[in-house]
Amino acid sequence: MTQFFDVPVGGRRIAAVCAAVLPLAVVGTEAAETGSVSMTAAWTLSGALLLASLAVRRDRFAAVAAAGVATSCLATGLTVWAAARPETTFGLVEAGALLLVSVRAVRRCPALWATALTVAVVIALTVIPLRLPASEYTPLLPFVVPSFWAATVLAAALGLYLRLLDRYRAQQHAVSLQKQRLDYARELHDFVGHHVTAIIAQTKAVRYATAAGMPPSAEELDGMLAAVEEAGAQAMQSMRSMVTMLRAPLDGPATAVGASGEALAELRMLTDQFAAAGPATTLTLDPRLATDLLPLDIATTVQHIVRESLTNIRKHAGHAKAVTVDVRLDGNTTDPAVLVSVTNDNPDTDPTSNPEPSPRTGYGLVGLAERAALVGGTFHAGAVEGVGWLVEARIPLPGPLPSAEDRTETATLDA
């Protein structure tokens, strides 16, 4: 079916011309029944203007439609004044075009223009049967005119429905764009911000040590620069992945992603990298989560929460001595959830209070709360007496946990 409608531009233009010629030919045929050259020209002009108003651009519709309706009323007046009148038609195609003008006016025009054009259409449809011979007025007018009024009401209702549908689609499009912007902002903040923060921390360490009169040795400086180089390369890789996702076609295949077990396995790499240039870090991962038990979106959310929490510790808790990352299953087997907690022993870790001047801060916690909410979870961050600063998220799983026998059977089938 898609290939059927996949017509080249030239073919579409030919189809559009054919679609326009057919109603124009019918309008000319109806106009020729008047038997008068002047009346034929007037009928053809009014019908052509009304048909053209249905095809012109939106910014030109009101002017062309107003000209078409006025010309239709003028053609009716000239027909009533002239002796030549058609015997069998008063312009059925033109009447249909008037109804379609009402639909488009209500759908596309501002309220004032839509009302004015609809009233003008009602007037034009009311008088258009007068083009017939006077002997036809008595049997036709009591039936035709009320029918045209009812048809105009239905046309206006259809236009209003399409107008509301267009507004709903525009709102949905705006919501979709806003969601995409938030997703991209979170990705940039979580991935690139994490690596850039590591670069800043390494650079500050060199500067502070040098300012204190204890410059690092050549070996130490080489190690620090190697860490900066690695963080920069990771930041570039994250940026390249983001650009690739942005440049991917909307109707193309989704970007391949790893299994949830791989996403959780990266937590070990994150904590090891953090501990290499920061405080001692302990990772506790529930062994039941080592397999691909979690849905991928939940596993990715867990990874983002841990990454952003470690980034905040590096930025705002420079005096922290110990960091604990704990990811475990919570609740019972019928109503399970994943509990993620990241703590450090510095209770003054507050990402929303940045000592350095900044126009706005606190995007990290906002992004984490949004990520947890997207998968139906809850999020909390704050100081806990006797513990330090705690970042915690509880994300419910979509269904009950599989039993040990089910997991063993699944692993056997996969093998």
- In tens, the pLDDT along 326-368 reads 998 887 767 788 899 999 887 666 665 544 434 344 567 777 8
Query: DSSP label at 189?
Result: I
Residue 339, H or E segment: strand 337-344
For the stretch 176-219, pLDDT in tens is 777 767 776 766 666 666 667 777 777 777 777 777 777 777 77
Virtual CA dihedral for 386, 273, 370, 387, nearest 10 degrees? 0
User: Phi and psi of 375, rounded to 5°?
Assistant: -105, 15
Domain regions of the chain by residue span: 2-132, 260-415
Query: What is the rounded distance in angstroms from the CA atom of residue 412 to the CA atom of residue 221?
Result: 51
Q: What is the pLDDT of residue 313?
A: 84
- 236-266: b or e for each residue (b if 16 or more CB lie within 10 Å)? eebeeeeeeeeeeeeeeeeeeeeebeebbee
Sheet holding 337-344, edge to edge: 280-285, 322-330, 337-344, 388-396, 378-384
Query: What is the rounded distance in angstroms from the CA atom of residue 118 to the CA atom of residue 104?
Result: 10
Q: What is the pLDDT of residue 63?
A: 92
What does each of the 415 residues of the chain score in pLDDT, given as a tens digit?
A: 444 445 565 565 676 666 667 777 777 787 787 777 888 888 888 888 888 888 888 889 999 999 999 998 998 888 888 766 777 788 888 898 999 999 999 999 999 999 999 999 999 999 988 888 888 888 888 888 999 999 999 999 999 999 999 999 888 877 877 776 777 676 666 666 666 777 777 777 777 777 777 777 777 777 777 777 777 776 776 677 666 666 665 544 444 344 455 667 778 888 887 887 778 888 888 887 765 567 777 888 888 888 888 888 877 777 788 899 999 888 776 778 889 999 988 766 666 554 443 434 456 777 788 888 888 889 988 888 877 889 999 988 887 765 555 544 444 434 3
Q: What is the pLDDT of residue 266?
A: 77
Q: Which two tokens stand for residue 294?
A: 């979690």
In CATH terms, the superfamily for domain 260-415 is Histidine kinase-like ATPase, C-terminal domain (3.30.565.10)
CA distances from 70 to 64, 119, 254 (A): 10, 12, 54
Residue with tokens 């000239």: 78
Q: What is the pLDDT of residue 334?
A: 74
Tell me if 298 sits within 8 A of 395, measured CB to CB. yes
Residue with tokens 């390494």: 202
CA distances from 155 to 20, 60, 100, 149, 151 (A): 22, 21, 7, 10, 6
Q: What is the pLDDT of residue 353?
A: 55
Q: What is the pLDDT of residue 89?
A: 81
Query: What is the rounded distance in angstroms from the CA atom of residue 233 to the CA atom of residue 144?
Result: 77
- 185-205: b or e for each residue (b if 16 or more CB lie within 10 Å)? ebbebbbbbbbbbbbebbeeb
